[in-house]
Structure formats: structure tokens, C-alpha cells
A and B are shown apart, each in its own frame.
Chain A
């Protein structure tokens, strides 16, 4: 068995024990072979692992990672089992443990796989619509799980204790402030029968004074016989920890993606090879998908080749034309910026108007309440469309166009949310001027907002709900009819419009926006993560239905992993905005005197220092030490040193890669030189060039790997092997 494998004309040499690519340690002898000599395309398997420089520590190479057919793998296993090396008892015990640990890992992986949410659906989506759409649904699933888990955090530390202690002790500590500030009557009489429905949609009425909003929570420290639970402290620390937890989850998920994205560098390195070698998706199941994928790849290659030609042409542009192009681009950037600013001003006006007319009742009142959301949604729909038209004139390369459009849309979405919040802040703090008449008494605008935190919570709640309703409405009223029209009516206009395409970037922005709203609102509406989980689950099924029934696969695909990284970066922007809002609310604005857990405190954060002093002496000293300079400065210096080390290491690696590349090039040239010499010699000795050419690379590579070049006359052309005399 061994002899038939030791075929010297074996194409692929495989050395045991190499954890890196076998090609790196592969002797050059296996580079090339003529087809008539290779009767078995089997890797040449190295039966003697002791020859290997990188001797494995002891565990035989995993059998399944050997690229051999099954029968040969069995033979390898038999040989491995026969060759029982002499090991100490500790060594063999260690090996057994490793093997059983691996089995345990495999089994647990199988079990966990069964619990993965929506696994089959996602596989089906990926197979039929490509990796771009697949990455959108993966992102959505990640957000669902994140919201669900963080809800448990809040439920465990804030909600459950509040419910429990409310039954135990229902008295409240009232603050001693001016009487006007303490007025808060959130249960007006129900006047019309559909008031319940309106209240559900806007979070007022029966919904306002409930666990949903901040105003309902206790402000006292519940102290039973042996259990003390400081609810205000729990509220603040849970909110802070919730943000930290979300940040850690996002960064953990970015971790693997970031490593790959940084390692591959920019997209210009190896772009064509990447498309050709890795571009095909083997999970395409139907003829239609295959044809589509082929069209896709064809389109990509054409576009990239065209882009390259354009770049070459652009580099040859005259100076005047370049100046013209850049000034045109600057002008269009300003136009886009102006459009976005116009949208912001519209949102600002709408929010102002809505806040001023909160006393309206009925349907008109509901309309006024939802006015900011309506304007934001309209802006988010119109402005990107207009920016797309602008992008057509800007003449960037296709990849740059997509990124510019995305960045503009992200900017629009997140800053429109910020504008809304800014308007609210203006009204709560009387334009930031605490000394003004309306705000002087309680340091916030108590007339309009007896309980301002609940108000902000309500705004965020309305935004979330409205987002979901709009998505369902668009699905029912726009996408299904569009498909029906396109399918039934075959006139030119409908065919030109065509079926819906599932555009990944704008859908992802919708998710990021929704999540940013939830983050901003959680401090004031603790049940919002749960509502968001339900919303995203409904959204998942809606998007899935529209994908399968109404959409055709996209013409341009999105590169999946770099785009996942981009989605997470954008999500971080939203997180950053929400953190700014949270930090500001915790520290700067006075909490309402009439509701909520913080009515006794000058600001929400002050509950932490005041309960800090109730900790034990040693804990206090320890925490002081961590915050002091004698700890932080050495820590900072140490992190600088570590960073410098890694930067130096990275530069050394880069230099050695460049060095190895040059070495490879030189070796290739040596080989070509020697081939020419051999051909000359062959001609001189009248050996037919064909057979000489067959053997040459094998023979030659042996020489090169031995790194010793002798004159050709000392070599014999022996077919069964090679020898040097």
C-alpha cells in the first residue's frame, strides 16, 4: 500500500503535522508534473512524521483534515494506531483527555446547533438570495437576541424587585418641594370609547402610569428584615450596565470580522483573483439562481474592468477637466448637505409644533402626537432618493458611490433622531435657561411636563411603534400590490419598473435606527427592549414573507463580511448617540419631583455617590485607589508600552512578508534560467525535448530545494529517480 502511494509523480505533496498550509512546507518537487505520469492524483502522504521539522507535540494529526479519499484515510489511521509511540502515562492520559474533550465539544456543538434560532430559514434565504441578504437577516437575528437578553437584565434587577416590593409596601416617600412641582395626575377620565386604542398607540392614559414608563417606579429604598434593595440605585446601575453589555456584545461580534477586514486590507489588493477564486456560491440550488449568480459575476467583472479602464483614463485627464470634476463634486456634496439640513429643519418644526399642541384630543391629537415620526419617516424616504439622483452626476466609481450613499443615509437617520431629542430638551429646560419663569421653580418645565422622563419615554415608544406600523403598511399596501401588478399586467411601464428588489443597505439602516431609538429610550421606558424584541420578530417574518413572495434577487450583491463589519460600525454610531443622551440625562437635568425613583435627588447620578458611602471602609478605599492617579498613570504607561510592542511586531511581519516575496520571485527566475540551460544541454545531447521537459521540473525542483546548483553534466536523467554524481 505504501509503495503505490509513494508515486514520485504525485501531484500534491502532503506533510503530516503541519498546521499551516501544506503548500508552505511542500517541497518544490511537486509543483509540476506531466499528465501522462500521474496515474493517481492522490496526495503523496508522508508516512514518516519524524522527518518533519515541526514535529507535532504528540497528538496525531486530525484525520479528517487530510485531503485523501476515505480508503486512504482508513489506512493512515491503521498505521497511526499500529505505531503506538512510547509515551509516559501522563502523556497518554493527557491525550485521552484531549480526545474526550474534543468529542464533548463536537457533541455540544451539535446540541447547540439544534437550538439556533431560525437556522433552516436562514439557510434557505442564503441559498436563494445570496450572501448580502443573508447577512441582513443574520444581523436582525443578532439584534433580536441582544434585545431579549438585555431585557432579562432589566427584568431581573429593576422590574421584578419593583413588582415584589410594591405588594409589600405601597407607601411612597414624597419629596418636599413646591406644591406645583408635585402635581402629577396621569389618569384622566376616559371620555370616548376608542380612547383605549389611542392610549395604546401613544402610551398615554392607562399606559402612562404603569411599569412601562419611568414615572411608575419606586423611589424608596425597600428595607425588610434582612433584605435591603435600593431601587433607585438599581435603576441607574442597570441602565449603565445595559449600555456596557450591548457595547461588549457588539465589539465581540465585530472582533472576528474586524480581524479579517484589517488583515485583507483595502479591497483593491487581489480583487480580481478574489472574485474569480472565491466568488462562486456553492449553495445555489436552482437553475434560475445559478444563471442569476453568473449574470452577477459577469456584471461585477465587467464593472471592475471598466472601472480600471476609467481610472487609467482619469489619471490621464488634463488639469482643467480635473478641476471641473472636483468643483462639480464639491457643489453636489453641498447640495446633498443642504437637502439633509432642510430635512432637519422640517423635523425641528414638526417636533416643536407637536409639543405645543399636546392638548388636542381625538384623531387630530393622535396625528399631532405622531407628527415628528411622520416627518422623520418622510425625510428618510425622500432624501436618500434625491441623493441617489445626485450620485449619478457625481461620477464616482461604483463602490465609492455605494459607500457615500450609505454614509449620507446614516447621517440623515441618526442626526434626525438627535434633532428630535434636541427639540424635546429645549422644551423641557426652557431653551437651556433654567432661570426662565416657566422653569425656575422646579428647574424644569413643570407646566408642560409634570413628569418629563415619562414624556421622553413616550416619544421613543411612539417612534418604535410607528416604525413597525410603517413597515407593515408598506408591505401590505405597496409591495404586494406591486408584485401583483407586475405579474398580471404586462405593459412596458410595469416591466420597466419590475419586481421589488430587496435592497440591503436601506433595510439595515432601518434596523440601526430602530435600535438607536430603543437605546435612547430604555432609561425612560424600561420595557422598551421587550417591545423591541417582539417588534423585530414580527419584522423578521414580514421581511421573510416579502422576500420570498415579492422580491427578485438583487443585481449587485454586497460583499458579506465587510458589510457585516460596516453594519456593526453604524450600530456603534447609534449606540454612541444613545450614550450621549443617557449621560446627559443622568447628570445634567433635574429629575421630576412628582414621579419616578429619583424625585429626592438633584440629578439621577447622585444616588450612586450617596450610596457609595454606605459601603464598607475597605471597599471605599479600594475604589478610591482605582480611581486615583497612582493607579491610572502606571496603567496608562503600561498600555502604551504594550501598544508600541504590537505596532513594532506588525511592522516586522510586514517587512518579512515583503522579503519572502522577493525571495520567491528570485527563485522563480533561477528556475527559469536553469530550465533554459537544461534545454540547451538537451539539444546538445540530442535528447527529445518532450521527455526532457517532463522530467525537468521534478529533477530541477529537487536541485533547488537542495539549494545547490552543480553543472548539468554531472546529472543523470534517470527516470526512476534522481541522483547526483
Chain B
């Protein structure tokens, strides 16, 4: 069970190289890791869909506080259960890769942070985001007073049109001023 190009097919590989930001080695490595998640009979099937729990056993995603959101965002399943096909997995890795552009990364970061999937980041989204960042246990959460102060500061800084939410353009405006974002929004197998 090696990772040879013949497993994916040369033209498929070229297609993946064209449609994602991944290099040939990275695509083959992704294929190998994905196949390890499947059972023996599943490996021969095409377009097999791996449930979210199995994906989350990957070392790179296991301890990421946004792992559930990441799976939901990249999943193309109709029942929205966060399961990923191999192509969804490649999309995930492409957005998190070294050579992905700032636009792609900021776009997907916005969708990951949008916990209620309504297209904007409102106070509820921001609060859930901050809790993910600081940890969910009681001693690592901010007090409600601090949370209020923080969210009002964030909205004051980023909400340009003062509608109480941060939309995609405002989010991308903040991101564009950060020099570290591209290098920290990275998952490499």
C-alpha cells in the first residue's frame, strides 16, 4: 500500500495540482493519510465519505479547538454532518497550505469563525470564538465583564459601518493588516 502516482492516476493528479495549491508530494501524502483512515474494503471505493469523528483522529486536527467548524466548512455533505471526501480533504489542505493566497485563507477563516453560518460575525459568534481561543474550562475563560469589554473593543475596531456585526469585507480588512496571519493559518501534514 504505497503512495504511488498510479494510485490516484496521473491526469487526476495533474488536475488536483491545477485546482489546489498543493504540490505533487503533498497530494500524495494527503492520499496516503486519507487512505489510512479508511478500512480495507473502503479503500477501493470511489468518493467514499469519511465521518467527522474519524477525520478528527488525525494528529493535525485532534487538538485544534476549531476542528468541528473546519470539518463543517469544508464538508460537501448534504446532511451537514461534517463528513469529508478525499476531494474535500484536499480542499482543506489547499486552503491551509503554504502557498495559498491571503484571500482564500481569510475567506475560509471567516467561514470557520461564523459559528451560526449566517454570513456575519455577531456578538454570539465572537463570544464563542474567544472561548475557543482561551479554552472552555472555567479557569481559562474570561469573566463576563472582560468578555463584554473585549467584544465592544473588537466591534469598535473592526465594525466600520457600525451595524453591530463584522462582515466578510471588514474581516478581510483586519486580516490584511496582520503580518502573521498567512504563516499561522497553516496545517501541514
Using Cβ atoms and an 8 Å threshold, which residues of chain A touch B90?
70
- Chain A, range 270-299, C-beta contacts under 8 Å to B: 270-274, 276-287, 289-291, 294-295, 297-298
Residues from chain B with Cβ under 8 Å of A12 in the complex = 107, 111, 119, 168
Contacting chain B: which of A16-24, A222-230, A347-355, A716-724? A16-24
Q: Are A298 and B117 in contact (CB under 8 A)?
A: no
Contact assessment for B188 and A64 in the assembled complex, using a CB-CB cutoff below 8 Å:
no
CA distance A295 to B137 in the complex (A): 11
A284 to B184, CA, bound (A): 10
B183 touches A131 (CB 8 A): yes
In the complex with contacts A21-B169, A69-B88, A276-B188 CB distance below 8 A? no
Which of chain A's residues has its CB closest to B65's CB?
Answer: A290
B70 to chain A, nearest CB (A): 9
Tell yes or no: A74 within 8 A of B by CB. Answer: yes
Q: For the complex, give the distance between the alpha carbons of A145 and B129 in Å.
A: 41
A73 contacts across to B, CB distance below 8 A: 19
Min Cβ gap B144→A in Å is 13
Q: Which residue of A lies closest to B187 (CB)?
A: A282
Q: Complex formed: what's the CA distance from A271 to B157 in Å?
A: 8
From A131, A277, A278, A305, contact of B146 by CB (8 A): A305
Instruction: Write out the residue numbers on chain A whose beta carbons fall within 8 Å of the beta carbon of B60.
Output: 285
Inter-chain contact A671/B154, CB cutoff 8 Å: no
Selecting from A185-193, A258-266, A502-510, A623-631, the interface stretch reads A258-266
Q: Is B174 an interface residue (CB 8 A)?
A: yes
Evaluate contact between B163 and A298: CB separation under 8 angstroms: no
Known: A64-B94, A276-B133, A277-B178. A71 touches B87 (CB 8 A): yes
- Are A70 and B108 in contact, with the CB atoms below 8 A? no
A560: chain B residues within 8 A (beta carbon):
179-180, 183
Q: Does B40 contact A (CB under 8 A)?
A: no
Q: Are A276 and B129 touching (Cβ within 8 A)?
A: yes
Query: A664 interface residue, CB < 8 Å from B?
Result: yes
Which residue of chain B has the shortest Cβ distance to A18 in the bound complex? Answer: B103
In the complex, are the beta carbons of B142 and A302 less than 8 A apart? yes
Contact across chains for A290 and B18 when beta carbons are under 8 A apart: no
Chain B residue at minimum C-beta to C-beta distance from A22: B103
Contact for B119 among A31, A71, A305, A667, CB less than 8 A: A31
Residue of A nearest to B96 (CB): A282
- Known contacts: A71-B87, A270-B157, A273-B154. The answer to whether A278 contacts B149 by CB under 8 A is no
Given the known inter-chain contacts A302-B146, A672-B163, please indicate yes or no for A270 contacting B103, CB distance below 8 A: no
Query: Closest chain A residue to B47 by CB distance?
Result: A71
Pairwise interchain contact A26-B63, C-beta atoms closer than 8 A: no
Q: In the complex, what residue of chain A is closest to B152 when comparing beta carbons?
A: A272
Whether the pair B133, A279 counts as a contact (CB closer than 8 A) is yes
Say if the beta carbon of B4 comes within 8 Å of chain A: no
In the complex, the answer to whether B135 meets A298 with C-beta atoms within 8 Å is yes
Are A668 and B161 in contact, CB atoms less than 8 angstroms apart?
Answer: yes
Q: From B23, B107, B172, name the one whose CB has the most chain A CB atoms within 10 angstroms.
A: B107
A665 at the interface (CB under 8 A from B): yes
Chain B positions within 8 Å of A561 at CB level? 179-180
Contact digits for A34-77, partner B, Cβ 8 Å, 1 yes 0 no:
11001001000000000000000000000111010111011001
Q: When the two chains form their complex, are residues B179 and A260 in contact, meaning their CB atoms are under 8 A apart?
A: yes
Residue of A nearest to B160 (CB): A664
Bound-complex Cα distance A95 to B23 (A): 22
User: Total contacts A to B, CB within 8 angstroms?
Assistant: 208
The answer to whether B140 and A301 have CB atoms under 8 Å apart is: no
Interface residues on chain B, number (Cβ under 8 Å): 79
Contact across chains for A270 and B181 when beta carbons are under 8 A apart: no
Contact A285 B154 (CB under 8 A): no
Q: Which residues on A sit within 8 Å (CB–CB) of B149?
A: 305, 308
Q: Which residues 59-109 of A sit at the B interface, judged by CB distance below 8 A?
A: 63-65, 67, 69-71, 73-74, 77, 106, 109
Task: Flag if A294 contacts B135 (CB, 8 Å).
Answer: yes
- Which residue on B lies nearest to A13, using beta carbons? B168
Residues on the A chain within 8 Å of B83, using CB: none
Contact of B104 among A65, A294, A298 (CB under 8 A): A65
Interface status of A391 (Cβ within 8 A of chain B)? no
Q: Which residues of B contact A289 (CB under 8 A)?
A: 63
Contact call A273/B87, Cβ cutoff below 8 A: no
- Most chain B beta carbons < 10 A, residue from A26, A35, A74, A282: A282
Q: Can you name the residue of chain B whose Cβ is closest to the Cβ of A9?
A: B119
B59 and chain A: residue at smallest CB distance: A285
CB distance from B159 to the nearest CB of A (A): 9
**Is A606 on the interface with B (CB-CB < 8 A)?**
no
B contact face: mostly helix, strand, loop, or mixed: helix
> How many angstroms from the CA of A31 to the CA of B107 in the assembled complex?
14
Q: Does A257 sit at the interface, judged by CB under 8 A?
A: yes
Provide the residues of chain A in CB contact with B167, threshold 8 Å: 23, 31
CA distance A69 to B74 in the complex (A): 7
Closest chain A CB from B135 CB (angstroms): 4
B175 CB-CB contact with A under 8 Å: yes
Q: Is the CB of B63 within 8 A of A290?
A: yes
Q: Are A272 and B153 in contact (CB under 8 A)?
A: yes
Contact bitstring A326-338, B, C-beta under 8 A = 1, else 0: 0000000000000
- B37 at the binding interface (Cβ < 8 Å): no
Complex CA distance for A565 and B95, rounded to whole angstroms: 27
| A282 and B186 contacting across the interface, CB-CB below 8 Å | yes
Verify B140–A295 contact, CB threshold 8 A. Answer: yes
Q: Check if B161 sits within 8 Å of A665, measured CB to CB.
A: yes
CA distance A32 to B161 in the complex (A): 14
Q: Assuming A21-B103, A77-B19, A264-B179, is B142 touching A283 (CB within 8 A)? A: no
Q: B3 on the interface (CB 8 Å rule)?
A: no
The reply to whether B181 and A278 contact each other, CB–CB distance below 8 Å, is yes
For A290, the closest partner residue in chain B by CB is: B63
B19 contacts A273, C-beta separation under 8 Å: no
* Chain B residues whose C-beta falls within 8 Å of the C-beta of A494 in the assembled complex: none
Neighbouring B residues of A269 by C-beta, 8 Å? 157, 177
Chain B 99-128 interface mask (CB, 8 Å, partner A; 1/0)? 111011011110101001111100000100
Instruction: Give the CA-CA distance A668 to B135 in the complex, in Å.
Output: 34
Residue numbers in B under 8 Å from A585 (CB-CB): none
Chain A residues positioned under 8 Å from B64 (CB to CB): 282, 284, 290
Q: Does A683 sit at the interface, judged by CB under 8 A?
A: no
**Contact call B135/A32, Cβ cutoff below 8 A:** no
B35 interface hit (Cβ, 8 Å): no
Known: A23-B169, A270-B174, A294-B134. A67 touches B107 (CB 8 A): yes
Nearest residue in B to A559 (C-beta to C-beta)?
A: B180
- Judging by beta carbons under 8 Å apart, are B179 and A562 in contact? yes
Using known A-B contacts A291-B135, A294-B140, determine if residue A278 contacts B118 with beta carbons closer than 8 Å. no
Structural contact, A297 and B134, CB atoms closer than 8 A: yes
Partner of B118, one of A26, A35, A65, A271: A35
CB-based contact A274/B150 at 8 Å = no
Q: A428: CB under 8 A from chain B? A: no
A268 (CB) vs chain B CBs: closest residue: B157
Query: A290: which B residues are within 8 A, CB to CB?
Result: 63-65
List, in ascending order, chain B residues with CB within 8 A of A24's CB. Answer: 169
**A399 CB to nearest chain B CB (Å):** 16
**A110 on the B face (CB < 8 A):** yes
Question: Which B residues between 63 and 98 are near A, CB-CB below 8 angstroms?
Answer: 63-66, 74, 76, 87-88, 90-91, 94-96
- With both beta carbons as reference points, the residue of chain A lying nearest to B140 in the complex is identified as A298
Whether B171 sits at the interface, judged by CB under 8 Å, is yes
Asked whether B63 lies within 8 Å of A286 as measured between CB atoms, the reply is: yes
Mark A residues whose CB is within 8 Å of B: 11-12, 21-24, 26, 30-35, 38, 41, 63-65, 67, 69-71, 73-74, 77, 106, 109-110, 123, 131, 257, 260-261, 263-264, 269-274, 276-287, 289-291, 294-295, 297-298, 301-302, 305, 308, 559-562, 661, 664-665, 667-669, 671-672
Q: List 7 A-B contacts (CB under 8 A).
A: A12-B107, A23-B172, A67-B107, A70-B87, A74-B15, A301-B134, A302-B146
Closest 3 CB pairs of A and B: A668-B161, A23-B169, A561-B179
Known contacts A23-B169, A71-B76, A284-B63, then 17 further A-B pairs from the complex at CB < 8 Å, ordered by chain A residue: A12-B168, A22-B107, A31-B119, A31-B167, A69-B76, A70-B87, A71-B87, A260-B179, A276-B126, A276-B129, A277-B113, A278-B180, A282-B66, A287-B63, A290-B63, A667-B161, A668-B163
